[in-house]
Amino acid sequence: MNEEKILVSPLARAKIKILIFSLLTLIAAFLPTVIHSQFITGPLVNMALILATFLVGPFEAVFLGLMPSVLALVSGLLPLPLAPAVPFIMISNAILVGVYYYLGRKNFGLTILAAAFLKFLFLYELSNLWLPKVLTSMLGWVQFYTAVLGGIMAYLVLKFITPD
């Protein structure tokens, strides 16, 4: 089979990264202001974080992970009494990104489970230390499920858009 190589300038690559990052920001940061369901926005936000990790870079993905919880709080998806949990949510998103970045795509299934579990564990344990039990339900196992589902969705998108 005859393969042609397409040369892409560094400026064009930068523009593509900005476009991808902008699209993922729309999904991760602004979707929670429109759709007020953790079971819809959670997987989409986690998918956007994972895609940003692989398509744009881990630092950009961590930056992206800072936005959704603040906007979810402002939009009402995250109840006001959970405001003290926002820094924990931001750190848990960074944990998710870090695990995906360091474990990579070699064994994506194991990476999905490890990243989702570590995100859940951090957020659940710290929220149980700092918040009343009645407020921690949104920060419990649902975090694991939405991270796993987001990982599966990201895997399917990556399989579709990358030749590997």
Q: How many CB atoms sit inside 10 A of residue 36's CB?
A: 13
Report percent pLDDT > 90 for the chain: 32
Secondary structure class of 110 (helix, strand, coil)? helix
- 134-154 pLDDT per residue, tens: 667 778 889 999 999 999 999
Q: Is residue 54 part of a domain?
A: yes
Place of tokens 């402002």: 74
Residue 19 has pLDDT above 60, yes or no: yes
Q: Specify if 3 maps to a domain.
A: no
The pLDDT assigned to 153 comes to 93
- As a whole number of Å, the CA-based R_g of the chain is 16
The reported pTM is 0.85
Highest-pLDDT range among 22-26, 117-121, 158-162: 117-121
How many domains, the chain?
1
Banded pLDDT at 131 (limits 50, 70, 90): confident
Identify the domain containing residue 69 by its residue range.
11-161
Q: Is residue 88 in some structural domain? A: yes
Residue of 21 and 99 predicted with greater confidence: 99
> Which residue type is seen at 124?
Y
Q: Is residue 1 part of a domain?
A: no
Does 116 reside within a domain?
yes
